[in-house]
């Protein structure tokens, strides 16, 4: 009987010694008071009294992380085992297959996986999104079966627009034009032609605005075409008879006298010599003054033909002569009193 009593006593002492306060589901080194998370209601987390400051750890809970269950990160409830899990990919599957790095917060926030500022983010990349590229769908450039891979793409126009380049036949691009599309096309336009075509090296304005490429670029010559007026307008120049341009009196540089307004009637540079767009001589025909275009002279006396009256009016002008040259020398603007 004595022996049985001793056995029972030792067993009780063993059991008492085996159960200590360190037997916590959170691990033997867990030092936070139970009352931080639990109450007398039970061992379940009591959110009414929960007071642990997760911001004191390396993983502050923000956004949707504030509402998740502890066990989603701390599966064993031994919190020390999760201390190193501060990187997104340690908890979240990388659906982008490591094509954009492992830092989800470069594009996403803890509020949502949705990205609403991708254009702004893309400005920090090798290919900032400008012009019509700002409205392109990601998958138009970053093609993959999953539609979620964003492998690094080339940043040259031809890297994405090779099919457009090779398929263009009017005019044929391959082997003729640069593969840098921006040399000819406007990145802010929604079309390749029309307003989307950049012809700034020879502005297509007014009379040139509605021309077909082939009207100037004959025989598909897009590399050595002269920008000199005469190279395109030789036939116009030689066919003009009023006044006859081919007489040798007129420059082959059309813009000296003409603008690019449709039609050849608008004369611009004549105003700097003698105004014919305003004043008493507005609307006068070329051959009224240039009666003999072959020798490049002008005649004032054909209209101002009352010699006696004109001589009388200039009686107080020393050295007056009744000649066209004298008229122009004294009245270069065509106005009396010059």
CA-based nearest residue to 100, from 142, 152, 140, 139: 152
| Cα dihedral 83→88→91→96 (10° resolution) | -160
Q: How many CA atoms lie within 13 A of 150 on its CB side?
A: 13
Number of residues written out for the chain: 338
Per-residue pLDDT reduced to its tens digit, 189-226: 888 876 677 788 888 888 888 888 888 888 777 777 88
Report how far apart, in Å, the C-alpha atoms of 144 and of each of 150, 223, 260 are. 8, 39, 50
Domain annotation covers residue 30? yes
Alpha helices in 171-323 (DSSP H): 213-216, 229-239, 270-273, 286-289, 307-313
Q: Is 147 left (phi over 0), alpha (psi -120 to 50) or beta?
A: left
Per-residue pLDDT reduced to its tens digit, 311-329: 998 888 888 899 988 988 8
* Confidence (pLDDT) at 128: 92
> Sign of the CA dihedral 169, 174, 177, 182?
positive
* Confidence (pLDDT) at 6: 52
Band of residue 161 on the pLDDT scale cut at 50, 70, 90: very high
* Confidence (pLDDT) at 19: 46
Domain annotation covers residue 327? no
Domain annotation covers residue 67? yes
Q: What is the mean predicted confidence (pLDDT) over 297-322?
A: 89
Q: What is the mean predicted confidence (pLDDT) over 121-127?
A: 90
User: When comparing pLDDT for 196 and 252, which is higher?
Assistant: 252
For the ranges 56-60, 84-88, 104-108, 120-124, which has the lowest average pLDDT?
Answer: 84-88
CA-based nearest residue to 220, from 273, 157, 155, 171: 171
**Domain ranges, residue 70:** 25-86
User: When comparing pLDDT for 172 and 96, which is higher?
Assistant: 96
Per-residue pLDDT reduced to its tens digit, 76-88: 888 887 666 788 8
Domain annotation covers residue 44? yes
* Confidence (pLDDT) at 16: 44
Domain annotation covers residue 186? no
Residue 151 · residue 99 · CB < 8 Å: yes
> Looking at residue 134, what DSSP letter applies?
G
* Confidence (pLDDT) at 5: 59
What is the pLDDT of the chain when averaged over all its residues?
83
* Confidence (pLDDT) at 246: 81
- Structural domain count, the chain: 1
Band of residue 51 on the pLDDT scale cut at 50, 70, 90: very high
> Looking at residue 32, what DSSP letter applies?
S
Please report which helix (H) or strand (E) contains residue 327, including its range.
helix 324-330
* Confidence (pLDDT) at 153: 87
- Cα 243 from Cα 276, distance rounded (Å): 15
Q: What is the mean predicted confidence (pLDDT) over 53-57?
A: 90
* Confidence (pLDDT) at 180: 93
- For residue 299 the two structure tokens come to 């005649």
- For residue 245 the two structure tokens come to 């341009």
Domain annotation covers residue 263? no
Domain annotation covers residue 295? no
- For residue 81 the two structure tokens come to 């085992």
- Cα 334 from Cα 278, distance rounded (Å): 10
Per-residue pLDDT reduced to its tens digit, 3-36: 655 555 555 445 444 445 547 888 888 889 999 9
* Confidence (pLDDT) at 157: 92
Quote the pTM value.
0.53
Domain annotation covers residue 1? no
* pLDDT of 2 above 50: yes
Q: What is the mean predicted confidence (pLDDT) over 238-246?
A: 82
Q: What is the mean predicted confidence (pLDDT) over 274-283?
A: 82
Report how far apart, in Å, the C-alpha atoms of 90 and of each of 73, 85, 100, 103, 112 are. 10, 6, 16, 11, 18
- Cα 175 from Cα 168, distance rounded (Å): 12
* pLDDT of 254 above 70: yes
């Amino acid at each position: 009987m004595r022996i049985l009593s001793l056995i029972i006593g030792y067993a009780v002492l063993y059991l008492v010694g085996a159960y200590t306060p360190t037997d916590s589901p959170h691990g033997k080194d867990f030092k936070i008071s139970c009352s931080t998370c639990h109450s007398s209601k039970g061992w379940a987390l009591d959110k009414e009294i929960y007071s642990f400051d997760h911001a004191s750890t390396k993983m502050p809970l923000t956004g949707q992380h504030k509402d998740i269950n502890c066990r989603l990160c701390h599966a064993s409830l031994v919190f020390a085992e999760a201390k190193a899990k501060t990187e997104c990919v340690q908890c979240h599957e990388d659906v982008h297959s490591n094509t954009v790095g492992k830092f989800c917060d470069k594009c996403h926030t803890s509020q949502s996986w949705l990205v609403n500022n991708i254009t702004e983010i893309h400005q920090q990349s090798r290919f900032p999104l400008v012009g019509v590229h700002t409205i392109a769908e990601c998958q138009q450039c970053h093609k993959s079966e999953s539609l979620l891979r964003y492998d690094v793409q080339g940043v040259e126009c031809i890297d994405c627009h090779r099919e457009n380049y090779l398929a263009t036949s009017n005019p044929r691009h391959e082997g003729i034009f640069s593969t840098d599309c921006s040399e000819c096309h406007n990145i802010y336009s929604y079309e390749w032609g029309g307003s989307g075509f950049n012809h700034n090296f020879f502005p297509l304005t007014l009379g040139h605005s509605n021309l077909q490429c082939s009207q100037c670029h004959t025989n598909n010559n897009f590399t050595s075409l002269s920008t000199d007026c005469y190279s395109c307008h030789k036939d116009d120049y030689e066919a003009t008879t009023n006044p006859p341009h081919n007489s040798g009196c007129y420059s082959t540089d059309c813009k000296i006298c003409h603008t690019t307004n449709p039609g050849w009637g608008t004369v611009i540079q004549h105003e700097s010599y003698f105004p014919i767009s305003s004043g008493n001589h507005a609307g006068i025909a070329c051959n009224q003054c240039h009666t003999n275009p072959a020798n490049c002279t002008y005649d004032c006396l054909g209209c101002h033909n009352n010699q006696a009256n004109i001589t009388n009016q200039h009686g107080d002008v020393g050295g007056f002569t009744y000649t066209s040259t004298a008229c122009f020398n004294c009245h270069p603007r065509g106005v009396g009193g010059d």
